[in-house]
Amino acid sequence: MAMKGFLDMLPLSLAVIPWGILCGSLAIQRDFTPLEALFMPILVFAGSAQLVAIELMANNVPLATILFTTFIISSRHFLYGLALRDKLKILPLPWRLSLGFLLTDELFALSGTAKSLKGKLRLVYALSASLSFYLFWLAWNFVGIIAGTYLPDLTTLGLDFAIAVTFIALVIPNISNFPALVTVIVAGVLSIIFKLLNWELGLVISAIIAMLAGYITLRVMDEGQLKILKILKVKRK
């Protein structure tokens, strides 16, 4: 199970090579010491928050602004915690702390099924998946720190494509019914609008509205089915 976790996470661990190298090298290019650059992935462990914070810190933006921006970017994790709450809150403290610390977009993407995280084996699976992802993330950052100033500006090379298609490969096979399709379409359209408006909070807001849209669609369909069932019963009589 540990091996399976590692292998299932591997495509995601590899897809963040560009991001990790970028985070490491950008920190060095923005005059972070190697130690500071290394503490970013070790402690913060969040791609987009790291990137944005490095730029803000380099521009001497006030501490409160940096922390607030970090909070906004990271706020999607509240949703992950909520979604996994009933499964994780019953675990002993060491499990909660470690899986909590390692709760990335990537771990959440692998924990979508009803059975996930239930029982010792599936916990070992999740721990091995997320811990290996963490170690890979450190390694890619480390490569970026070492390469540092020797690398050109990586932001313009289209390196974000890898993570986008990885998420596509994870989301598309799970669109198994109409409400899920509605969720994905609403999330896609709104996220574009909010991004063009330059709202940092746009990601979370579009996700929440999309969840509501999917849920309402499900309810409407359920009620529609109930009505049809009632009509059928009446006819049988």
Q: Restricting to residues 120-159, name those near other proteins by CB under 8 A.
A: 158
- Enumerate residues 180-199 that contact other proteins by CB under 8 A: 180, 183-184, 186-188, 190-192, 195-196, 198
Name residues whose C-beta falls within 8 Å of residue 56's C-beta, 6 or more positions apart in sequence.
Answer: 65, 66, 69
Q: Is residue 225 near other proteins by the rule CB under 8 A?
A: no
Q: Which of 1, 2, 138, 207 binds other proteins (CB under 8 A)?
A: 207
Q: Which of 4, 55, 112, 178 binds other proteins (CB under 8 A)?
A: 112
Q: Please state the closest distance from residue 38 (CB atom) to other proteins, in A.
A: 10
Q: Is residue 212 near other proteins by the rule CB under 8 A?
A: yes
Asked if 51 and 22 touch (Cβ cutoff 8 Å), the reply is: yes
Interface stretch with other proteins, choices 82-90, 133-141, 146-154, 228-236 (CB under 8 A): 82-90
Q: Is residue 200 near other proteins by the rule CB under 8 A?
A: no
**Tokens matching residue 152:** 């050109």
Checking phi first, is residue 91 left (phi over 0); if not, alpha (psi -120 to 50) or beta? Answer: beta
Task: Specify the long-range contacts of residues 177-186, CB closer than 8 Å, at least 24 apart.
Answer: 178/217, 178/221, 179/214, 179/215, 179/217, 179/218, 179/221, 180/214, 182/210, 182/213, 182/214, 182/217, 183/210, 183/211, 183/213, 183/214, 183/217, 184/210, 186/210, 186/213, 186/214
Q: Is residue 214 near other proteins by the rule CB under 8 A?
A: yes
Of residues 112 and 231, the one with the C-beta less far from other proteins: 112
Q: Please state the closest distance from residue 184 (CB atom) to other proteins, in A.
A: 5
The CA distances from residue 160 to 101, 138, 143, 167, in Å, are: 24, 18, 17, 11
Q: Is residue 161 near other proteins by the rule CB under 8 A?
A: yes
Local structure of 46: helix, strand or coil: coil
Q: Which of 55, 153, 174, 221 binds other proteins (CB under 8 A)?
A: 174
Q: Is residue 29 near other proteins by the rule CB under 8 A?
A: no
Q: Please state the closest distance from residue 124 (CB atom) to other proteins, in A.
A: 18
The CA distances from residue 148 to 20, 137, 144, in Å, are: 12, 16, 5
**What's the rounded Cα separation, in Å, for the pair 133 and 13?**
5
| Total of residues contacting other proteins (CB under 8 A) | 88
Q: Is residue 88 near other proteins by the rule CB under 8 A?
A: yes
Q: Is residue 85 near other proteins by the rule CB under 8 A?
A: yes
Of residues 104 and 128, the one with the C-beta less far from other proteins: 104
